[in-house]
Structure 1
Amino acid sequence: MIDIDLHLHTYYSDGTESPTELVRRAAAEGLRTIAVTDHDGIDGVPEAAAAARPLGICVIPGLEFSAEWMYRDDSDRPEMHTMHILGYGIDLASGTLQEKMKEIRQKRAIRNEKLYRAFKGKGIEIDRKELESASPGGFVGKRSFATAFLKKGLADNLEEVFSSEALMDDPVIRSIHKEKTSAEEAIRIIHQARGKAFLAHPFQLGYSSLSREPEGFRSRLALVVRQLGILGLDGIECYYPTHDRERTAYLLTLADREELLVSIGSDDHGPCARKIKRIHSFRVEADLLRLAWVKDMTCSDA
């Protein structure tokens, strides 16, 4: 069984566990090398590294940028794509990275205030302390609002919260998006922090359906990967829970053609989150030779 997982979340973004809880569960699952890759943040890495040290686990410092990229197709027509860019082996003390984290926190606070006022306008009052208690890691986002709604008895589960037009599926609420980092900037910041940049879950490019591919999707994906490669992309996440054998083979071929590295990640958000994305939930056995580069990554000493 593979003992590497390079895509894990804690409650410092939208995960349900503390970094310590995540590391202990990873150890119990037999993992030896993990990357903590919270959304647009690095605050959980030091705690994870401290918890991992006595357990003999290597924690690769990472993050997952919410990004977008305006690519041009063969007819030179521009089209915006949303995506996630993973950063591995980053220097947490990088000045450029720290400045970006500060900027993201400020923008997140503005977005949360918009959400707070929008729900208040709908007649849904939320005490700010309720949001804080729903966010033990200090990361307040849409999931924090959703958790607060559950505690208020406005829904029975998170799925209901996000699918209800009375709550998160209201058009006004859905229009309050987080600002994304350009893929070019994300790759540059990761490299300036001495890390490697990977395209996360490529089959979710543009937040596509997990099961159905839009017409022409693969040709667009190949073009985006090529253009990101020109910008310095180091690799793509080929081994992923929703990738079957055929999709995995396609991505491995794409990685070879573009001379990119290959990563593996479950995108685990905790035992209370989606079962389809859990540690060891891969549908295809990974080729260890493809992951040989991981041995050269430095474990966090934060």
Structure 2
Amino acid sequence: MENDVEASNIIDGAKPEVHGRCDLHTHTQASDGMQPPAENVRIARHKGLAAVAITDHDTVSGVAEALEAGLKYGITVVPGVEISTRAEGKEIHVLGYYIDTHQELFLSRLAEQRDTRAKRNASIIGKLRGLGINITLDNVVAGIGRELKPDESIGRPHIADELVRLGAAADMREAFDKYLATGAAAYVSPPRITPELACEWIIEAGGTPVLAHPGIYGDDELVRGILTRSSLRGIEVYHSDHTPADEERYLEMAEEFGLVVTGGSDFHGARQGVIFHGDLGSVTVSADVLERLKG
């Protein structure tokens, strides 16, 4: 399947057949993705998808542009978000679909989340400098190559990019493994809201909360506890980092808890020639799931 760079060279007028599949987990420049929101939509249309969700970290600032692009390219855009939470010492992500992206209360709550992310970033930079790496947040922002909007935020991939530029890591994978991943030398996990509270926020904003990539957490007892305690309505069974065994287990959990089965690539674009986590459209579910998420 073409990567995002190749897809960007396709003539916009191309109209491949739509096969009724959707990628429900993609990121844009509004958080830590590489593509403008409209480009995610165009790539999805080129790849024959019926729908694509925009699920940036703790912000919905890319949704409006994506919705407009959806009209242009004739593809359904699902307004979404991915909220960072914490449970039993682990960072847990909760996806929200079909939220009201104009609700002032929800927007203010997301702004608080981004403030937490900004404090975390400052702590990470401090740890890296303590390790003798001459990195600054200003240089991280400069490396992005554009001015950030007020409701956009810096993510660990941006910091990893700068570590590679400085020669402190050979590539993105080493940057995470050595410095930024859970338990690594500069890892920071600030206090966050609970998954249960994130679900409440999403529901109050008219949306549907879904547990993101449970296989990444490496603790199915924790996952089961979150499903039991929270008002989650779906679980991301299919994800770029899930194995077939993961999919089988989470399908069983979905049936047990009566949850909507979702899936997506968790596309962030290409950094140093490597696509994280997966290419847009590489992990999909039937577009039929959208009606259940709207409910």
TM normalised by structure 1 equals 0.77
Aligned partner of residue 8 in structure 1, secondary structure: coil
**Matched residues in 2 for 1:101 and 1:24: separation?**
27
Out of 19, 27, 31, the position equivalent to 1:13 is 31
Give 1:229-244 correspondences, 5 Å limit: 232-244=231-243
Q: Which residue of 1 aligns with 2:228?
A: 226
Root-mean-square deviation over aligned CA pairs: 2.7
**Matched residues in 1 for 2:52 and 2:282: separation?**
15
Out of 90, 97, 116, the position equivalent to 2:125 is 116
What's the % identity of the aligned pairs? 30
Out of 198, 201, 220, the position equivalent to 1:189 is 201
Q: Is the 8 A contact 2:86 2:191 kept in 1?
A: no
> For residue 221 of structure 1, what is the amino acid of its counterpart?
V
Aligned partner of residue 181 in structure 1, secondary structure: coil
Q: 1:112 to 1:248 in 2, by over 3 A?
A: closer
Matched, 1:294 2:290: yes
Stretch deviating more after TM superposition (266-275 or 181-190): 266-275
Q: Is the 8 A contact 2:211 2:234 kept in 1?
A: yes
**Matched residues in 2 for 1:144 and 1:49: separation?**
26
Q: Is the 8 A contact 1:4 1:33 kept in 2?
A: yes
Segments of 5+ residues of structure 1 without an aligned counterpart are 70-78, 209-216
Q: Is the 8 A contact 1:94 1:192 kept in 2?
A: no
Q: Which residue of 2 aligns with 1:258?
A: 257
Q: 1:52 to 1:134 in 2, by over 3 A?
A: farther
Matched, 1:86 2:95: yes
Kindly provide the CA deviation profile for residues 34-70 of structure 1, in whole angstroms up to 9, marking residues without a partner as x.
111112222221222222220011211111112223x
Q: Which residue of 1 aligns with 2:161?
A: 147
> For residue 279 of structure 1, what is the amino acid of its counterpart?
L
Q: Is the 8 A contact 2:120 2:190 kept in 1?
A: yes
Q: 1:223 to 1:95 in 2, by over 3 A?
A: same
Q: Which residue of 2 aligns with 1:58?
A: 76
> For residue 270 of structure 1, what is the amino acid of its counterpart?
G
Kindly provide the CA deviation profile for residues 114-138 of structure 1, in whole angstroms up to 9, marking residues without a partner as x.
2333333333333544222233454
Aligned partner of residue 24 in structure 2, secondary structure: strand
Query: Displacement, 1:88?
Result: 0.2
Q: Which residue of 2 aligns with 1:173?
A: 186
Stretch deviating more after TM superposition (80-89 or 28-37): 80-89
Segments of 5+ residues of structure 2 without an aligned counterpart are 1-18
Aligned partner of residue 184 in structure 1, secondary structure: helix
**Matched residues in 1 for 2:171 and 2:64: separation?**
31
> For residue 170 of structure 2, what is the amino acid of its counterpart?
D
**Matched residues in 1 for 2:127 and 2:249: separation?**
43
Query: Displacement, 1:186?
Result: 0.2
> For residue 268 of structure 2, what is the amino acid of its counterpart?
H
Query: Displacement, 1:18?
Result: 1.9
Q: Which residue of 2 aligns with 1:75?
A: none
**Matched residues in 1 for 2:171 and 2:289: separation?**
40
TM normalised by structure 2 equals 0.79
How many residue pairs get aligned? The number is 268
Q: Is the 8 A contact 1:112 1:140 kept in 2?
A: yes
Matched, 1:45 2:63: yes
Q: Is the 8 A contact 1:9 1:267 kept in 2?
A: yes
**Matched residues in 2 for 1:222 and 1:296: separation?**
22
Query: Displacement, 1:179?
Result: 3.5
Kindly provide the CA deviation profile for residues 83-132 of structure 1, in whole angstroms up to 9, marking residues without a partner as x.
21110001111222111122122222222222333333333333544222
Out of 88, 107, 118, the position equivalent to 1:98 is 107
Q: Is the 8 A contact 2:195 2:226 kept in 1?
A: no
**Matched residues in 2 for 1:80 and 1:162: separation?**
19
Out of 39, 47, 70, the position equivalent to 1:29 is 47
> For residue 63 of structure 2, what is the amino acid of its counterpart?
V
Aligned partner of residue 269 in structure 2, secondary structure: coil
**Matched residues in 2 for 1:183 and 1:196: separation?**
13
**Matched residues in 2 for 1:36 and 1:15: separation?**
11
